[in-house]
Amino acid sequence: AQSVTQLDSQVPVFEEAPVELRCNYSSSVSVYLFWYVQYPNQGLQLLLKYLSGSTLVKGINGFEAEFNKSQTSFHLRKPSVHISDTAEYFCAVTATGGGNKLTFGTGTQLKVEL
């Protein structure tokens, strides 16, 4: 089984500042990693995913994440946030080579302030 830990439940940041949302995972098998964003009263939208290859993954809206196998981490970063980035961000994992069941972390609420 897999598990995901998002240590920060809330991250306040000023507009145009950089941000990092932390994600650590635990698994006895190889995994694929995902970041989803959920805007208020909306569904989940895929930001980016890591399957293989380069450990630095670029996604939509200027976000990127780096897979670190030794630290079992997949932190999400953005060099300059905008007020419209205010949302809940979920890190998720699924085991490779099998079904596509996602296990989510508890989410991080990013609040961008002026």
Q: Does 104 bind other proteins (CB under 8 A)?
A: yes
CB atoms near residue 106 (< 10 Å): 13
Nearer to other proteins, 43 or 114 (CB): 43
Contact 15, 114 (CB under 8 A): yes
CB of 79 to other proteins, least distance (A): 25
Type of residue found at 25: Y
Between CA 107 and CA 10 the distance in angstroms is 9
CB of 15 to other proteins, least distance (A): 25
Between CA 89 and CA 23 the distance in angstroms is 10
**Could you tell me the CA-to-CA distances from 61 to 5, 58, 69 in Å, in that order?**
23, 9, 25
Interactions with other proteins, residue window 31-90 (CB under 8 A): 32, 36, 42-46, 49, 51, 90
Q: Does 101 bind other proteins (CB under 8 A)?
A: yes
Nearer to other proteins, 14 or 39 (CB): 39
Q: Does 3 bind other proteins (CB under 8 A)?
A: no
Interface ranges with other proteins (CB under 8 A): 32, 36, 42-46, 49, 51, 90, 94-107
